[in-house]
Amino acid sequence: MLKPALKSLLLAVALAAQAQSPKPQAPPVPALSVLIAEARKAVPPAMPPSRLAPDLVDVTALDPSIQLDIRYATSDNFLHAPVYGQARAFLQRPVAQALVRVNAALRRSGYGVRIHDGYRPWWVTKVFWDATPPADHDYVADPAKGSVHNRGCAVDLDLVDLASGAPATMPSGYDEMSERSHAAYPGGDAAARAHRDLLRAAMEAQGFKVLKEEWWHFDHASSADYPVMNLTFEAIRDRSAELAQSGQVLLVTTSGWDAAKGSLQRFERQQGTFKAVGAPLPVWVGKGGLAWRTDDGAPPPPAGGPMKREGDGRAPAGLLTFGDMWGYAPTAPEGVRFRYRMATECERCVDDPDHADYARIVSLPSPKAPVTFRSAEYLLLPTEHYRHMVVIHYNDLRPLKNAGSCIFLHVAPPPGGGTAGCTALAAEDLLTLLRWMDPAKNPVLFQVPEALLETTRATWSLPAELKPVGR
């Protein structure tokens, strides 16, 4: 048994050795560029289905008096580097409308709101988490759970004094990771706390709740109704203008990107609203399924998925318009109003990406005239495919090399099946459709996998009534 004096000496030596030994260091955080690259490739966690479809809107489009100071589009943030490519603030429409009411109420007190952040893509949340030391994870959202920012239902903001135009003082700076950022922090300047409490009261009156660690962060009560999203700002585009002059929509939905068979539902504008017409019709798209448009003028995809390429056997997804009708008979079928042209052995649709007439229909002087293209489709076929055929305007007006070519609405002979990239219906169904379509109403084709319909419709601000009947 050790004597007490010796025991004390050994303990002192052990403590001294421990004090002199190097303490374990936290592993270094990878460079921000590496974290961003990894986050962009990552897949958001699976979440339960949401009750409402996304409807993101630019807040300043609803109220131009709302000011923006989007810190993550600058280097003035806790990462000291820009993460967003655009200084924009998007929120779900009901959340944005509630914030407009907050701004109106605060104006009566001489203040206005200034937004630092709104909707945040999921990949950005992952970057924030990965770049933050574990000790400070209370101040960032866990990407495994998704953030309310990712749902478009959270907003970071402060106040601006309308008389001076200067930001109102607050107990801490935006994104400061300290107790001064807490919503109930009792210290600091009394005027700063009064500004903080004024903002909180106005926000809570419109259904927002403050995050206890951050006086600037407010979640809206509707957050559970919307999905976690990973859309970039660039992908949030208003495509509603493409339907503004259209009175008819052909909605084609499939069970997935690789499905060759789908359903076509007709819609017609009546008193400003699109109404479903008739029962759904079976339809076939590319044998490889669908792929997002890549032709000139194609918008950024609203969600991930394959991109259309020459020879991929996929039909273009998105919004498309129609051109002329072609057929084997001298005249169009009775009741069809499209401008009609009879196909002969001289017509070809060039699918040679290296040719000057790529993706265009050309008429040769004779069936056996020499050609300079390597490959082309005949418009007069030994099959029934093109007996009734309407050009779908995809990559034919300003062709881009390898984006895809010769996309038509045509007959799917029995027993039906996938096409080379066109959209096809049984002959009788196609005639029914063509007799209903009115070129004077600028009909539009809208093709998308059904699982992405809500996201696509909301991202592009398309009418909510465009959905399969019964859904």
Closest-CA residue to 328 (of 373, 400, 378, 277): 378
Q: Are strands 376-378 and 347-350 parallel, antiparallel or unpaired?
A: antiparallel
Give the model confidence (pLDDT) of 385-424 as tens digits: 999 999 999 999 889 999 999 999 999 988 778 999 999 9
Cα torsion angle, 30, 31, 37, 39, sign: positive
Q: CA-to-CA distance for 193 and 209, rounded, in angstroms?
A: 17
Bridge partners (DSSP) of residue 199 are: none
Q: Name the phi and psi angles at 428, rounded to 5.
A: -65, -40
Q: CA-to-CA distance for 149 and 217, rounded, in angstroms?
A: 10
Bridge partners (DSSP) of residue 419 are: 286
Q: CA-to-CA distance for 403 and 312, rounded, in angstroms?
A: 10
Give the model confidence (pLDDT) of 308-355 as tens digits: 999 999 999 999 999 999 999 999 999 999 999 999 999 999 999 999
**Where in the chain are all domains bearing CATH 3.30.1380.10?**
32-225
Give the model confidence (pLDDT) of 7-64 as tens digits: 454 445 444 545 454 444 545 556 888 999 999 999 888 888 788 777 788 898 889 8
**Where in the chain are all domains bearing CATH 2.40.440.10?**
237-459
User: Model pTM greater than 0.85?
Assistant: no
Q: Looking at the domain covering 32-225, what would its CATH class be?
A: alpha beta
Residue 401 neighbours by CB under 8 Å, 6+ apart: 353, 354, 358
* C-alpha distances out from residue 326 to 330, 361, 409, Å: 10, 11, 10
Q: CA-to-CA distance for 265 and 446, rounded, in angstroms?
A: 10
Q: CA-to-CA distance for 1 and 434, rounded, in angstroms?
A: 102
Q: Looking at the domain covering 237-459, what would its CATH class be?
A: mainly beta
